[in-house]
Amino acid sequence: KAGVTQTPRYLIKTRGQQVTLSCSPISGHRSVSWYQQTPGQGLQFLFEYFSETQRNKGNFPGRFSGRQFSNSRSEMNVSTLELGDSALYLCASSLQNSPLHFGNGTRLTVT
């Protein structure tokens, strides 16, 4: 069974630009979550989608948004990028009330 797939693996953007990251969950998983990982803050929850609806949201500004499609694939968008948005963005999928399985992430660098 294929794992969680995230694209692209690496991304370099400049301040003020926007970026869209993509995630394909494990087949059959309808819940998709996004996390930001930085050396200083560790892993922090961004949001969770289930059946195309946002079910939970972390403490991030409105510049961070996401969506989920009918096939459970998900995208997250960051607008007006700041230097502090440089991080590894991780997507995870799960069955209902089951542990999360993570992808290998998208490394975003903002210059």
Residues 6+ apart with CB under 8 A from 42: none
Q: Which of 7, 15, 43, 69 binds another protein (CB under 8 A)?
A: 43
- Count the Cβ atoms, other than its own, within 10 Å of residue 37: 15
Characterise 97 by phi-psi region: left (phi > 0), alpha (psi -120 to 50), beta (else): left
Q: Which of 21, 76, 103, 110 binds another protein (CB under 8 A)?
A: 103
Q: Which of 33, 36, 68, 74 binds another protein (CB under 8 A)?
A: 33
Residue 7 makes contact with another protein by CB under 8 A: no
Q: Which two tokens stand for residue 57?
A: 């949201």
Residue 111 makes contact with another protein by CB under 8 A: no
In degrees and rounded to multiples of 5, residue 85 shows phi and psi of: -85, -5
Which residue lies nearer to another protein by CB, 35 or 64? 35
Which residue lies nearer to another protein by CB, 45 or 67? 45
Residue 72 makes contact with another protein by CB under 8 A: no
Query: Number of helices and strands (H, E) in the chain?
Result: 0, 11
The binding site for another protein (CB under 8 A) comprises 4, 31, 33, 35, 42-45, 48, 55-56, 58, 90, 92, 94, 99-105
